Every structure is written in C-alpha cells, then in structure tokens.
Amino acid sequence: MLKKIKKMISGDTLKTSSPVPIEEYVELPVKGYEGLETVKIKVCDLEDFKDATEIAVLTEAGYLVIANTINLERDIDDDYAKVLSSLKEKVGKTGGKIVRLCETKVLAVPSNTTIERMVKEETPKTKE
C-alpha cells in the first residue's frame, strides 16, 4: 500500500490489474447526527466594543454568532481594527475562535466547535 502511495505522490502512473474485491473493503463506523442537541445561532452587528463583549458572552454560552461588519476590504480603519482585535481576544479567552466569512461578515464560535476549510479537488480541464 505504501509503495502505491509513493508512486502516486511521485507522479508515476499506477497500474491496477483488477478492481478490489468487496471483501477487502473495511466498513468504517460513522456517527451520524442524531439531532439531540440544538445548534444555537445569533446574527448581530459588530459596531463597537460593547458589541464585541456581547458576542464574546454569546459564544461563551454556546452560540454560533454571525456578525455583520463594515466592509473589511474597503472601509476598515484603526478604530475598527481595535474592535476586531478586542473581539478576537475576548472570544479566545474562552477557547473560541473568529473567522471572516466574507467582506462584511465574521463568524464567532465557541470552544466546542471546529472550523475547517473545504478543499475542492481541481477538475481536469479539457482541451477543445
């Protein structure tokens, strides 16, 4: 198996002689979502330090918080950067994290939440 992986990584073409028999597949246990716990989401505006404190309190209480912001690409200034820094610090004290969703939104999550970026595989381009 490791030799096949090395060949794939090094770019060598892999020759498969036949399909893998169904008996060789290993079924992995998957824990499905049972819907017992409620996911709590709040949507609010992040305009000042008071809002940053409220968002930190909500994440500590277990809420996912989507905060509307100014345009972070175009309109950010030193004062607003301090508000964002304060939010990051306050949420981080309880193990939470913040992440930018787009130019005008950030997401603050509690410590029991994992944020992962979805990586898409590139589709081969066909020449016409």
Q: Which domain holds residue 83?
A: 41-109
H or E segment at 76? none
The answer to the question of residue 68 being in a domain is: yes
Q: Is residue 128 one of the residues assigned to a domain?
A: no
- pLDDT for the residue numbered 41: 93
Residue 76 resides in a domain: yes
Residue 85 lies inside a defined structural domain of this protein: yes
Closest CA to 68 of 101, 31, 21, 20: 101
Model confidence, pTM? 0.64
CATH number at residue 76: 3.30.110.150
**Residue 14 belongs to some domain of the structure:** no
Q: Give the count of domains, the chain.
A: 1
- 113, 83 in Cβ contact below 8 A? no
* pLDDT score at 60: 93
| Positions in the chain whose pLDDT score sits under 70 | 1-25, 28, 30-36, 127-128
